[in-house]
Amino acid sequence: MIKTTLVGHACLLIQSKETTILTDPVWSDYQWEELQVLCPSIVLEKDKVPPVDVLNISHRHQDHFDVRTLAYLAQNERIITPDTIILAPKDKILLEVLEELEFKNVKVVTDFESIQVKDVTLMPTPSRNQLSTSEDDYPEHGLLVNDGEVTIWNEVDTIVSPEIIERILQQYGQIDLAHVRFVPLIEGNFSYHKQTELPLSEYCTFLNVVKTLAPKMVVAGAAFFRYRDEIGFLNQYSFPTTMEQFTRDLAAFCPELPCSSFSHGDVAYVTPDGVRFEKQSSDFVRIREDDSHLVTFKPVLEVPAIKTKTTDPTEHAREMKVVEDFLENCLMERILNSELLGGWQHWQIVYQLEVFGQEGSQPWTIDFAEPDKPKLHKGDIGKINLYEGISSSELCALIESTTSWDYVTLCGNYRTFNNIYRVTDGRVELPPEDRSNYALEPLMDLFPWDNNMDREKYMKDVRRWKGKPAY
């Protein structure tokens, strides 16, 4: 028998007779405790979490790789013992963080490698677009757990092919319990002015994975969180379906396969005779409040204007000075030296950067269609076909390298759109169909979203939380 407890979001505690496995622990309000919280909210009694034999980290997204929780576990010798094995993907930044937090016994996984720990066999499963053995920026893996009698599979966020599913079935036969993907997350679409609707093609792949895998029991896994406080409006743009809707759709799509809801504090007992669920039966985690009604998909409601987060007048004045100095003294030099300059000129871009402060905003415009060298204009000049709006607090943080695009594009204080075309010789020329990867926004070019930025984001949290008293 295998006992599985859903702790929060994608965090599972998996227990056989002899072995305990903890996956993707996120026990704090993640993303620097600024953007998102678990939903439904939980009460977690950490002193009751049992010692674990294996800590499995599937990939480096912050809803699976929370530095604060990991810093806590690293110094908790009751939960993470000297013998605990840490399973991790081949991800340089992730491994650097684990080393900095002083985790021992770190094992880099290989796809479909059998890992024996006491009475269970663990097997990482690959993702179709990001193999766990590759050098991709975000390698990831799912996890098979077998105790000799039953097998469970935690898909996590992996994208699997029919070939991967066939390999899983060849290895273990019919899976007894599968934790599968159920919701496409489109939280970045709002900032980029992309479609905010259910991406049906992606959603259908989730249903087809279940149908092809044909497990004995299915539960919808992960994606239990919401935006909070002043950016709560993003909840209406980011979660186009629900666990309940997925369960209904799955029942209609493949009615022969049983599917159950599975929430924080629920426990599943997996045996050869079937799966028994006990709602809210965990002795260390339970739902504090069912606040899921705060996550309702309504992408047509009123949206608040961009506004700086900084409320202190003195600090706001300092940030605005940093921003203005950059725009007036640095922006054009870096624009003219950019590798993208020729593209902006070819497409006759009229670019506007609008900076929002405590009261109102100030636009800055560059007309790349000017016959002479482009110049920076303070104010509007009419047509805009490439726009970036950003708060002064976020732009200042980018200039001073104290934030990352991972935060900026999800905090509600950055928004962009483009209408790019070129009229020439009696015809209208359009960019390639996949425009999202063609016309890079100037700020994205000047402050590149690269490994250095991502590394500093995590190391910032390491410096903040390493060695701090337990929370």
Would you state the pLDDT for residue 134? 45
Structure-token pair, residue 169: 């079935």
What pLDDT is stored for residue 187 in this prediction?
A: 84
Token duo for residue 377: 């204009």
- What residue ranges of the chain are covered by domains with CATH 3.30.1050.10? 313-465
- The gap between the terminal CA atoms of the chain, to the nearest Å, is 33
**Under a CB-based contact definition with an 8 Å cutoff, are residues 305 and 237 in contact?**
no
* pLDDT at 208 exceeding the cut of 90: yes
Q: Is the dihedral of CA 100, 101, 106, 111 positive or negative?
A: negative
Name the amino acid, one letter, at 71. A
Q: What is the pLDDT of residues 316-343, one digit of tens each?
A: 999 999 999 999 999 999 999 999 999 9
pTM here is: 0.94
Flag whether pLDDT at 12 surpasses 60.
Answer: yes
What is the rounded distance in angstroms from the CA atom of residue 409 to the CA atom of residue 411? 6
Phi and psi at 52, nearest 5°, equal -115, 145
Return phi, psi of residue 278, to 5°.
-125, 110
Q: For the residues 228-257, what does the mean pLDDT come to?
A: 94
Split at pLDDT 50, 70, 90, the class of 439 is low
State which CATH number among 3.40.1710.10, 3.40.50.2300, 1.10.10.10, 3.30.1050.10 fits the domain covering 313-465.
3.30.1050.10
Tokens standing for 137? 């920026």
Query: How far is it, in rounded angstroms, from Cα 61 to Cα 278?
Result: 30
Q: What is the mean pLDDT of residues 265-284?
A: 97
Please answer whether residues 73 and 24 qualify as being in contact, where contact means their C-beta atoms are separated by less than 8 angstroms: no
Query: What is the model's pLDDT at position 438?
Result: 54
Contact 136, 118 (CB under 8 A): no
Alpha helices by DSSP H, 313-450: 313-329, 331-336, 341-346, 392-399, 405-408, 442-446
Q: Choose which CATH entry (3.60.15.10, 3.40.50.11890, 1.10.10.10, 3.40.50.300) describes domain 2-294.
A: 3.60.15.10
Distance CA 390, CA 353 (A): 8
- Residue 107 CA, chain-centre distance (Å), reads 23
pLDDT of residue 371: 85
Instruction: Using the Cα atoms of residue 258, residue 264, residue 270 and residue 274 in order, give the sign of their dihedral.
Output: negative
Other beta carbons less than 10 A from residue 193's beta carbon: 12
pLDDT of residue 32: 65
Which residue is associated with the tokens 């899921």? 292
Q: What is the mean pLDDT of residues 362-368?
A: 96
Q: List the structure tokens of 291.
A: 């606040």
DSSP letter at 33 equals: T
Position 391 scores a pLDDT of: 98
- Spatial contact of 352 and 368, defined as CB atoms under 8 Å apart: no
DSSP line for 423-437: EETTEEE---S-GGG
386, 376, 372, 310: which is closest to 344 by C-alpha? 386
pLDDT at 132: 44
CA distance 71 to 64: 14
Q: Tell me, what's the pLDDT at 463?
A: 95
Sole residue written with tokens 């759709």: 249
Mean pLDDT across 86-112: 97
Model confidence at 444, pLDDT cuts 50, 70, 90, reads: very high
pLDDT, the chain, mean: 93
pLDDT at 254: 96
Interval 79-107 mean pLDDT: 97
**Alpha-helical regions (H) of 347-450:** 392-399, 405-408, 442-446
Write down the pLDDT at residue 392.
Answer: 98
Which of 12, 16, 13 lies closest to 2 in space, CA to CA?
16
Predicted pLDDT of residue 468 = 86
- As a whole number of angstroms, the distance between CA 8 and CA 320 comes to 40
85 CB-side CA count, 13 A:
14
- Rounded to the nearest 10 degrees, what angle do helices 451-465 and 67-74 cross at? 50
H or E, element range at 414? strand 414-418
For residue 283 the two structure tokens come to 């002795």
Report residue 222's pLDDT band, with 50, 70 and 90 as the boundaries: confident
- pLDDT given for residue 471 in this prediction: 74
Question: What digits encode the pLDDT tens for the residues 386-432?
Answer: 999 999 999 999 999 999 999 999 999 999 999 988 888 899 998 87
Domain with CATH 3.60.15.10 in the chain: 2-294
- pLDDT tens, 120-152? 999 999 998 654 444 557 899 999 999 999 999
Determine the 3-state secondary structure of 310 from DSSP.
coil
Q: Are 90 and 108 in contact (CB under 8 A)?
A: yes
CA dist., res. 63 & res. 30, Å (int): 7
The DSSP bridge pattern shows strands 177-180 and 151-154 to be parallel
Residue carrying the six token digits 């937090």: 101
- Strands 80-88, 106-108: pairing kind: parallel
Could you tell me what percent of the chain has a pLDDT over 90? 84
When pLDDT is averaged across residues 351-369 and rounded to a whole number, the result is 95
